[in-house]
Amino acid sequence: MEFTPIRPIEPLWAAPVEEKEAEAAPAGSVFADIFRKAIQDVRDTNQEQVNLEYQLSTGQLDKEDGRYVITEKGRRNSRICESSLPPSVRRHCDENLVKVNDALRRENQVRAQVMEREDGAFNLCLTLEDNTAPLLHLALLVPNGEQAEAWAKTFQADPSALYLNIIQLLDRPKEVQNEA
């Protein structure tokens, strides 16, 4: 009797697939690709979480209002490492930074606040600003919280629509306003 050692399980995508086999079973390769992508997404997400926890525990990041904020220690460490990053990684970081800055700028320029009143109704305060001055500040009395939240989300999704409709209403000739 010959001894055959047990081989470890190989990942699905590590096994070489010849072109003829792949053509013969296209559904198998599609599912293999989907499975491989799902596994990689889990790994990436887990790695991100591990990295965040490490940076939080070492004082490089802090969490404020549900967001991660870089600390002075994190800034110092970033400056030290930044020159050794490959250009492709720096470019990717720059692209992500533009997206984050756009989101933060928009969040600062478009605000909606829902406040409950003593009588059970709600106040909805909508604010739209550009870089230099407020464009719109509107306070509305809303009968319930669900409606106030829905209106707040609608405003935040497309604040310029409300602003432009108000401007159009105010710019209508007086005769048209009287008919309406």
pLDDT of residue 18: 47
Kindly state the helix (H) or strand (E) to which residue 114 belongs, with its residue range. Answer: strand 110-116
Instruction: Give 39's pLDDT tier (boundaries 50, 70, 90).
Output: confident
For the entire predicted model, the pTM comes to 0.48
Tokens matching residue 40: 């990689």
CB 163 within 8 A of CB 135: yes
Instruction: Give 25's pLDDT tier (boundaries 50, 70, 90).
Output: very low
Burial of 99 (0-12, 13-18, 19+ CB in 10 A): exposed
pLDDT of residue 31: 74
**pLDDT digit string, tens, across residues 76-104:** 888 888 778 888 888 888 888 888 888 88
Mean pLDDT of 106-122: 90
Kindly give, in sequence order, each residue whose CB lies less than 8 Å from that of residue 134, ignoring residues fewer than 6 positions away: 127, 128
- Max alpha carbon distance in the chain (Å)? 104
Mean pLDDT of 18-37: 61
